[in-house]
Structure 1
Amino acid sequence: MSDKALMTRAELELTQKMQREFPAGGVVHPNIIKELNDSPGLTARLTAFLQNRGRMQVVSTSGIITPPNGIVLPLTVPVNESRDWNAAVKTAGLSTGRGSVVWKIGDQFPPTVGVVERLEQLWLVNFGKGSRTSSSDAIAWGIGQHLVPASPRSCFAIAEHFSKLHVYLGMDPMAVVSLQKCSFEGRPLVARVWFDGSERSALLVWLWYHWDDDDWFAFVRELDS
């Protein structure tokens, strides 16, 4: 798998279909194999999914290795770091409450002047069923893979362009988290988008919260790597 690997909506939908239809006995139906073969954009990740009895494991030639029992999902998403903060929040979290603190910290993430929307390679990592993960442990994992936390706008873009990500992954509810720190009234916080059925909300969470197994952390490559 190259460093430019991505998972499209079609591939995510096929992943969900395999999760739903994979038989307990481990015999793969010929129709699923045909669908794999007829999908030119499908990468070795989904073949590994079948071979691994429905447990997604990503080990790529780019050097990114999953945490034990975890999942790493590469996504290529249009991100605009020059977008107005409140506009990005509104688009990502259509159900975000008017009184949410997330509307009040845009000055800590000012728009990047002169930048246009571009495709950005992101990695979402989940630490596995039953996991309880600290922010520092998630960041440490990223450092080991030469990855750093993605920006809140990147997470908002994921919610905008993959609004049914929780459906594709068969994980409802779930959240996408940016571990870039901000603060409000002296309290260290991070932004996340919460997917729950038909609702999406952008909100701030305490940085030192112990994250559950429904949280996915967004990372990007280090600039100097």
Structure 2
Amino acid sequence: MHIDIITVLPKLIESPFNDSILKRAQKKGLVTVNVIDLRPYSTNKHNTIDDYAFGGGAGMVMMVEPIDRCITDLKSKREYDEVIYMSPDGTLLTQPIANELSMKKNLILLCGHYKGVDERVREHLITREISIGDYVLSGGELAAAVLADAVIRLLPGVLSDETSALSDSFQDNLIAPPVYTRPSEYRGWKVPDVLLSGHEAKIQEWRHEKSLERTRERRPELLKKH
């Protein structure tokens, strides 16, 4: 997979890809993540990429021309499956969306900033808009990192145990069951006996029951989908 992330703050988004699973995925050659600084695509000597909104109002707006020039440049090098704008009013990111995007080959993630992007970017250059929640961030960089993480960890070979992703919360519209590790007893707090029994069928049954119970308590709306 190849992911290009367009941003006005490249240093803000580089860090998440330099550690842990995302770093190993790149070292293995399973994904390439390029952080693209938008400012060099500006058409003036000050590298300005934003301006005041027509009609007035607070805040600045990212200009259409630098974004168009950047995306056009990237598209001259490869074909992209999606050009995604990280926006608070986009489609809410879910596990099925992450699953779907993990099957793609080339993605562009555009990080908004200030009061957002010129609407013509959304009308003519973007194929999809995704939000990570009903709240507003200072920019789309952290949201792009969240989306990239959710997608990259699903690529074959990224996780040492590839079945791990299949048992994540939301994969089957259920929240994951409780998990425990050593010691089996701590300060009188004991691990459930069934997990120590070695009886695989009973363990799986217990985990499924706990998933249902936890989902019913915390996210009952998921049970309709399940």
- TM-score norm. by structure 2 comes to 0.23
Between structure 1 and structure 2, the one with the greater Rg is: 2
Tell me which of the two structures has the higher relative contact order, counting C-alpha pairs closer than 8 angstroms and 6 or more residues apart.
1
Specify which structure has the higher proportion of helix: 2
Specify which structure has the higher proportion of strand: 1
